[in-house]
Amino acid sequence: MGAAAQDNSPSGQLEPDSTWAEEVRALARERDAVLLAHNYQLPEIQDVADHVGDSLALSRIAATSGAATIVFCGVHFMAETAKILAPEKTVLIPDARAGCSLADSITVDQLRAWKREHPGAAVVSYVNTTAAVKAETDICCTSSNAVDVVASIPPDRAVLFCPDQFLGAHVKRETGRANLHVWAGECHVHAGINGPELAARAAAHPTADLYIHPECGCATSALYLVGEGVVPREKVHILSTSGMVEAARTTGTGTVLVATEVGMLHQLRKAAPATEFRAVNDRASCRFMKMITPAALLRALREGTDEVKVDHDIAVRARASVQRMIEIGAPGGGE
């Protein structure tokens, strides 16, 4: 049965076969749409997209793409960031219900209250935040440039870093900055990849490399394992999602333990087919990312839904902090 005859409601079942892929590509051409997919998307969504990458790379592509429409296969804050950077374009997300527990861990009122407690401090917000929080932020960052963003702020100025406590701890370690205050938010998927689980996996695979996303609860534990001599320092790599793909390209053979959302394994296995990539926690699947189903993508392209809008005044203020984000740091990885 071809894609056209199947249930294409966002939650509907649809076989992502070649008919589906051809229809997606044809509709994208008709709409002059570029398809962007985050590294945590379902494999078939990644394979049909024009670009697959991390938050930073996809934001940069959104800002410079010549297409009239951006179809963002990711979660809502990512599509909102694309709209902030490209207000003249139509931005679609295949299912607007695809939220983010980390973005929900700080509200704009909470951020305003925190700023009042630290007058004069610079606010650095992870891109996993709402547009309203970005509008109250000096510089946004992603996992691939958080350290560079904080390092760009004069050392004597206090920094409020939100909302991810584990990424904040990583930045504090890397910059050695005592005046960095970290909000106690977390992503439920990454927080669930914990230290004991990592230690057990590392013990079972003593020669494996460890790729660890800095949002993980186990990032600090990995460095503890290094300190204890359980894992050699050179085996531990704390990386953004596309930093992992770049590292995979030169890894050769052997085993790599991967601490992040399981969608990541698809790009890693494509980048290094001879390497065995194993999830540290194979239940670490983000239900929000997985709301972007083949059916939802087809519906988005056929019907022009769900369109992402950002309040004009909020977008103008948020753009300044997001623009600084895309200017700082090494190129974020993406195809």
Q: Which residues bind ligand 13P (CB under 6 A)?
A: 39, 54-55, 128, 142-143, 215, 240-241
Site membership for ligand SF4, residue 128 (CB under 6 A): yes
Task: Give residues 201-260 in contact with ligand SF4 (rule: CB under 6 A).
Answer: none
Q: How far is the CB of 215 from ligand SF4 (least distance, A)?
A: 6
Q: Which is nearer to ligand 13P, 132 or 239 (CB)?
A: 239
Site membership for ligand SF4, residue 125 (CB under 6 A): no
Site membership for ligand SF4, residue 193 (CB under 6 A): no
Q: Which is nearer to ligand SF4, 98 or 315 (CB)?
A: 98
Site membership for ligand SF4, residue 286 (CB under 6 A): yes
Q: How far is the CB of 106 from ligand SF4 (least distance, A)?
A: 13
Q: If DSSP states are collapsed to H, E and C, what string results for the chain?
A: CCHHHCCCCCCCCCCCCHHHHHHHHHHHHHHCEEEEEECCCCHHHHHHCCEEECHHHHHHHHHHCCCCEEEEECCHHHHHHHHHHCCCCEEECCCCCCCCCCHHHCCHHHHHHHHHHCCCCEEEEECCCCHHHHHCCCEEECCCCHHHHHHCCCCCCCEEEECEHHHHHHHHHHHCCCCEEECCECCHHHHCCCHHHHHHHHHHCCCCEEEECCCCCCHHHHHHHHHCCCCCHHHEEECCHHHHHHHHCCCCCEEEEEECCCCHHHHHHHHCCCEEEEECCCCCCCCCHHHCCHHHHHHHHHHCCCECCCCHHHHHHHHHHHHHHHHCCCCCCEC
Q: How far is the CB of 242 from ligand 13P (least distance, A)?
A: 6
Rounded to whole angstroms, how far apart are CA atoms 162 and 219?
17
Binding partner of residue 183 among ligand SF4, ligand 13P, none, CB under 5 to 8 Å per kind? none
Rounded to whole angstroms, how far apart are CA atoms 299 and 285?
23
Site membership for ligand SF4, residue 139 (CB under 6 A): no
Site membership for ligand SF4, residue 289 (CB under 6 A): yes
Site membership for ligand SF4, residue 101 (CB under 6 A): yes
Binding partner of residue 288 among ligand SF4, ligand 13P, none, CB under 5 to 8 Å per kind? ligand SF4
Site membership for ligand SF4, residue 14 (CB under 6 A): no
For ligand SF4, which stretch binds (CB under 6 A), given 113-121, 143-151, 270-278, 281-289? 281-289
Q: How far is the CB of 149 from ligand SF4 (least distance, A)?
A: 18
Site membership for ligand SF4, residue 187 (CB under 6 A): yes
Site membership for ligand SF4, residue 189 (CB under 6 A): yes
Site membership for ligand SF4, residue 292 (CB under 6 A): no
Binding partner of residue 281 among ligand 13P, ligand SF4, none, CB under 5 to 8 Å per kind? none
Binding partner of residue 153 among ligand SF4, ligand 13P, none, CB under 5 to 8 Å per kind? none
Binding partner of residue 266 among ligand 13P, ligand SF4, none, CB under 5 to 8 Å per kind? none
Site membership for ligand SF4, residue 102 (CB under 6 A): yes
**Is the preceding omega at residue 306 within 30 degrees of 0, hence cis?**
yes
Distances from the Cα of 254 to the Cαs of 205, 210, 250, 267, in angstroms? 10, 12, 12, 17
Binding partner of residue 101 among ligand 13P, ligand SF4, none, CB under 5 to 8 Å per kind? ligand SF4
Distances from the Cα of 281 to the Cαs of 155, 192, 198, in angstroms? 37, 8, 8
Rounded to whole angstroms, how far apart are CA atoms 324 and 322?
5
Contact residues for ligand SF4, defined by CB under 6 A: 75, 100-102, 128, 187, 189-190, 261, 286, 288-289
